[in-house]
Chain A
Amino acid sequence: EAGVAQSPRYKIIEKRQSVAFWCNPISGHATLYWYQQILGQGPKLLIQFQNNGVVDDSQLPKDRFSAERLKGVDSTLKIQPAKLEDSAVYLCASSLLAGARTDTQYFGPGTRLTVL
């Protein structure tokens, strides 16, 4: 079974530029998550989708971050404009069921963003 795919793996941009990350979850997984992992910390949830609807975006900085999940499958996370403090690894995860709190989340390899 293929895992969660993410691209690009690495991205370096200047502050105030825009950047987009792409995620393809495990086939058939209803729920998709985006996490931000700052160096030395555990991942922090940014947004959660069930199918193509947003369940939780309470920790998403909506003035600069946006995300969508096209047709309930792939997802993109965008930052516009980027700040220095956005330097982090952005992890995408998916889980099989919709509405199952204890369902296991499976993570992709992440995108390492460096903002200069």
Chain B
Amino acid sequence: AQSVAQPEDQVNVAEGNPLTVKCTYSVSGNPYLFWYVQYPNRGLQFLLKYITGDNLVKGSYGFEAEFNKSQTSFHLKKPSALVSDSALYFCAGLSGAGSYQLTFGKGTKLSVIP
């Protein structure tokens, strides 16, 4: 079975600074990993996913994520944070070989301070 963990409940970053939201995974087999963002009173919006190939995945709104097999991590990054990036971020992975079920982390609240 696959699980994902988001070790930080909250991340604070100043506007214009780089941001990182952390995610680690455990999996038997190939990892398939996703990042979603959730704004208040709205559903989840897809940012990016890693299936195979390049370890650096580029996604929506200037976000990117780096897949690191040796550290079993899939951290979300952005070079310059905007106040509008403040939201709840979820890492997710497929639950095991053959499964279609996405398992989500508990989420990390990102606050970008003006």
A42/B90 in contact, CB under 8 A:
yes
A77 within 8 Å of B (CB atoms):
no
Instruction: Please name all residues of chain A whose beta carbon is closer than 8 Å to the beta carbon of B92 when the two chains form the complex.
Output: 42
Instruction: Please name all residues of chain B whose beta carbon is closer than 8 Å to the beta carbon of A22 when the two chains form the complex.
Output: none
Known: A41-B106, A42-B105. A101 touches B42 (CB 8 A): no
Selected contact of A108 from candidates B32, B34, B43, CB within 8 Å: B43
Interface residues of B, count at CB 8 A:
24
Interface residues of A in 31-66 (CB under 8 A from B): 31, 40-45, 48, 55-56
Mask of A10-46 contacts with B, CB within 8 angstroms, 1/0: 0000000000000000000001000000001111110
A106/B107 in contact, CB under 8 A:
no
B100/A56 in contact, CB under 8 A:
yes
A109/B46 in contact, CB under 8 A:
no
Selected contact of A102 from candidates B32, B36, B105, B106, CB within 8 Å: B32
A106 to B44, CA, bound (A): 8
Instruction: Please name all residues of chain B whose beta carbon is closer than 8 Å to the beta carbon of A93 when the two chains form the complex.
Output: 43-44
A107 to B34, CA, bound (A): 13
A4 within 8 Å of B (CB atoms):
yes
Interface residues of A in 55-113 (CB under 8 A from B): 55-56, 91, 93, 101-102, 104-110, 112
B51 within 8 Å of A (CB atoms):
yes
Interface residues of A, count at CB 8 A:
24
A70 to B71, CA, bound (A): 44
A102/B43 in contact, CB under 8 A:
no
B32/A101 in contact, CB under 8 A:
yes
Chain B, residue nearest A104 (CB): B46
A4/B51 in contact, CB under 8 A:
no
A22 to B11, CA, bound (A): 35
With both chains docked as a complex, state the minimum distance between the C-beta of A47 and any C-beta of chain B, in angstroms.
10
A91/B100 in contact, CB under 8 A:
no
With both chains docked as a complex, state the minimum distance between the C-beta of A56 and any C-beta of chain B, in angstroms.
6
> What residues make up the interface of B, taking CB atoms closer than 8 Å to A?
32, 34, 36, 41-46, 49, 51, 90, 92, 94, 98-107
> What residues make up the interface of A, taking CB atoms closer than 8 Å to B?
4, 6, 31, 40-45, 48, 55-56, 91, 93, 101-102, 104-110, 112
Q: List 22 A-B contacts (CB under 8 A).
A: A6-B43, A31-B100, A40-B107, A41-B106, A41-B107, A42-B107, A43-B44, A43-B104, A45-B101, A45-B102, A48-B100, A56-B99, A56-B100, A91-B43, A91-B44, A104-B46, A105-B46, A105-B102, A107-B44, A107-B45, A110-B42, A110-B43
